[in-house]
Structure 1
Amino acid sequence: MRHLRVLCAIADTGSLRKAALQLGMTQPSLTTQLHRIERAIGGSLFTREQTGSRPTALGHSVLSRARPVIAEMAALVSAARQEARETAGSGRHRRLRIGSVGSRAVAAWLRRVHERLPDTDTTIHVDISASALLRMVAADQLDVAFVYESEGFPLRVPPDAEHRVLMAREPQFVALSAGHPAAARPVVHLADLAGDTWMVDPTADHEYAAMRRVFSEAGLNPRVVQVRDNATAAELVASGEAVRHCQPTSLPGPGTVVRPVHGDPLAVRLLFTWRPRVLSPPALDALYADLRAAYLDLAKVNPAYLAWLARHEPVLLDRDQDRAQDRVQDRV
């Protein structure tokens, strides 16, 4: 774990000197430790430049695996401390540990849960790695988790975890500069973006492989770069330097537009997962309903995605409308 934290500190600060300060070490000691790690792995993990240290391709690969391990360890320690505090107290109080991949639905989901369960200690753990979240569910570090699965690359759902499908196939839209020639079209084709640089997050499970598979099937070979920082990615899209796929519930940033892709070649499956016997079936049903309602509320705000749902998932919208009418009648 110490070695993994060293690598992450260097990557996050972009400097051996700053990483050493962050870790409470001397720079020579940190450099020696980095050399030892690189010798053990068999390759350079960082390039040394005048402007700082940057991960190599091998470094990105190692970091993408190191960060989930560190996050899991931090979650384990946090959960253990919390349990110890509760055990030492006068009595145990109700708690709910939610995990989720990054999604705009998370905030609305939590708000609904808090309103329905005001006396429950609800926590949230957000991780870009669905696999890491599933492992935390299996290890009793999370009670439920909202994850996505890249099409063609099934997640390894632990044998002692169960799941329910929120969306069998959520299309991935594309974010591009408002000045891009394809931005004026309501729907873009992959071929329209074949000459663009595409961005992926190297820490997201199978994102790069899924994108490469889609391009290969379309007979395309665009340049793909790995960018972890969302702020940098947004700037690159707005400036026209790159495009990136995004969730259909995403809002366009300044100088950008979000468009559906013809034929929906990029897609994911959305899953609600949990450990058996931790929560009662009614409690699980209510949590799932909260997540579903939060997700559909976001979908309805995006006209392009709402139109897509009306064409491909009309039953989903009809059921949501029926539930809304039932709630109104209940209040009356």
Structure 2
Amino acid sequence: MELELRHLRTIRTIADAGSLTRAATALGLAQPALSAQLRRIERALGGELFERGRHGVRATALGELVLERTRVVLPAVSDLQQEAARFAHARREPERLRLGGTHGPLLGALVDRLADAAPDTAVTTSASWSERELAEQLTEGRLDFALAGTCGSAAPPGAEQLVWREIAVDPVLVMLADGHPLARAREIELAALADQEWACVPGDGCFADCFTAACARAGFSPRRMYETDTASCVHLVRVGRAVGLCRASFPATPGIAIRPVTGTPLVWRHLLGWHAAAQQPDTAATVLDQARSAHAGLVPPAHRVP
């Protein structure tokens, strides 16, 4: 494995947090995933970076060496990225917007709105299932705006360098095959789905952990989770292989029933992000307003979180 800047940021976060648990929370990762990532980094650097103990972690001699370098490298790279983004923005044609998004119809709806609001602006899009990757592209000046999201009140990726504004908050709904026994219910208790398998799109935030916790509160552990692309999720639901999880902005789909979960145990915050140094305030305000309008046009009032 080649060492990357994100690995240095991970090491810095662990050292600042003083424990893997707190660092995992700050990074939006599950602790086992962070531990596995740290082991890969340590193998790449040739030794242990932290001593683990009951009260947290402490840097080894090798860890202190690496941390000393991060204090120089990370600020220097951050300054370079910001200067490059400002330079690129100053030279960029003003009639172009580069939008990124995770998945789903909100990105398409925003493009449609911007086509009317800014007819002389060329809009290009780039999709990624990784919110963290989108944040990196904003930081590096490769995107102008990104549609991403977080589970509940979790911090968005790159929050210390980027501006994130809330578009809306959706309940997480379930998708069932039209022939499912619960497909005609007005709403569904999560516990009523305890014997089901599940399908959702992938992500690198805390959604999987939040879903598992919601299931635990309902008295069961999910049997299996298929993390795959949207079209595959729809297929698995339509053929009865799994129950799907989706946002309220998910469009009506033949053969699929979309129903709320009693008590709204899971919510999803739609966010619009940008780099403040690379965007004019009026441009950001226009795109944010159009994103909120796009969401309002997609989500029925009955499926909105107050």
TM-score (structure 1 length as normaliser):
0.61
Match of residue 141 from structure 1 = 142
Structure 2: runs of 5+ lacking an equivalent? 3-42, 45-83
Counterparts of 1:35-46 in structure 2, within 5 Å, are none
Question: What is the SS of the residue equivalent to 1:106?
Answer: helix
Higher relative contact order (CA 8 A, sep 6+): 2
Offset, 1:153? 4.1
Offset, 1:203? 4.3
Q: 1:118 to 1:173 in 2, by over 3 A?
A: same
Match of residue 245 from structure 1 = 245
Aligned partners of 1:142 and 1:210: how far apart in 2? 29
Counterparts of 1:93-132 in structure 2, within 5 Å, are 94-132=95-133
Letter in 2 for 1:236: L
Match of residue 174 from structure 1 = 174
Q: Runs of 4+ in structure 1 displaced over 6 angstroms?
A: none
Residues 163 and 271, structure 1, Cα contact 8 Å, conserved in 2: yes
Letter in 2 for 1:281: P
Aligned partners of 1:180 and 1:223: how far apart in 2? 18
Residues 102 and 126, structure 1, Cα contact 8 Å, conserved in 2: yes
Offset, 1:120? 2.5
Counterparts of 1:261-300 in structure 2, within 5 Å, are 261-300=261-300
Residues 175 and 252, structure 1, Cα contact 8 Å, conserved in 2: no
Offset, 1:201? 3.2
Is 1:257 aligned to residue 257 of structure 2? Answer: yes
Question: What is the SS of the residue equivalent to 1:182?
Answer: coil
Offset, 1:112? 1.8
Q: 1:152 to 1:166 in 2, by over 3 A?
A: closer
Match of residue 218 from structure 1 = 218
Is 1:235 aligned to residue 235 of structure 2? Answer: yes
Count residues in correspondence.
Answer: 226
Residues 113 and 287, structure 1, Cα contact 8 Å, conserved in 2: yes
Q: 1:93 to 1:283 in 2, by over 3 A?
A: closer
- Greater per-residue helix proportion: 1
Question: What is the SS of the residue equivalent to 2:195?
Answer: coil
Aligned partners of 2:113 and 2:139: how far apart in 1? 25
Aligned partners of 1:193 and 1:206: how far apart in 2? 21
Aligned partners of 1:128 and 1:177: how far apart in 2? 25
Offset, 1:216? 1.8
Question: What is the SS of the residue equivalent to 1:293?
Answer: helix
Between stretches 195-204 and 157-166, larger displacement belongs to 195-204
Letter in 2 for 1:201: V
Is 1:307 aligned to residue 302 of structure 2? Answer: yes
Residues 131 and 157, structure 2, Cα contact 8 Å, conserved in 1: no
Match of residue 316 from structure 1 = none
Offset, 1:93? 5.2
Offset, 1:218? 2.1
1:28-59 residue CA offsets vs partner (Å, 9 max, x unmatched):
xxxxxxxxxxxx99xxxxxxxxxxxxxxxxxx
Question: What is the SS of the residue equivalent to 1:114?
Answer: helix
Residues 135 and 158, structure 1, Cα contact 8 Å, conserved in 2: no
1:277-315 residue CA offsets vs partner (Å, 9 max, x unmatched):
322222211111111111101114xxxxx1243xx53xx
Offset, 1:225? 2.5
Match of residue 70 from structure 2 = none
Question: What is the SS of the residue equivalent to 1:261?
Answer: coil
CA RMSD of aligned residues (A): 2.9
Question: What is the SS of the residue equivalent to 2:278?
Answer: coil
Offset, 1:94? 3.4
Offset, 1:247? 1.2
Match of residue 74 from structure 1 = none
1:168-198 residue CA offsets vs partner (Å, 9 max, x unmatched):
x321110011111111111011011111111
Aligned partners of 2:94 and 2:271: how far apart in 1? 28
Residues 201 and 233, structure 2, Cα contact 8 Å, conserved in 1: no
Q: 1:159 to 1:202 in 2, by over 3 A?
A: same
Q: 1:150 to 1:235 in 2, by over 3 A?
A: same
Is 1:160 aligned to residue 152 of structure 2? Answer: no
1:92-147 residue CA offsets vs partner (Å, 9 max, x unmatched):
45322111121212222112212222332321111111111111111111111111
Residues 200 and 207, structure 1, Cα contact 8 Å, conserved in 2: no
Q: 1:118 to 1:203 in 2, by over 3 A?
A: same
Residues 200 and 224, structure 1, Cα contact 8 Å, conserved in 2: no
Match of residue 183 from structure 2 = 183
Aligned partners of 1:267 and 1:226: how far apart in 2? 20
Offset, 1:204? 4.8
Letter in 1 for 2:100: G
Structure 1: runs of 5+ lacking an equivalent? 3-39, 42-78, 301-305, 314-332
Residues 152 and 210, structure 1, Cα contact 8 Å, conserved in 2: no
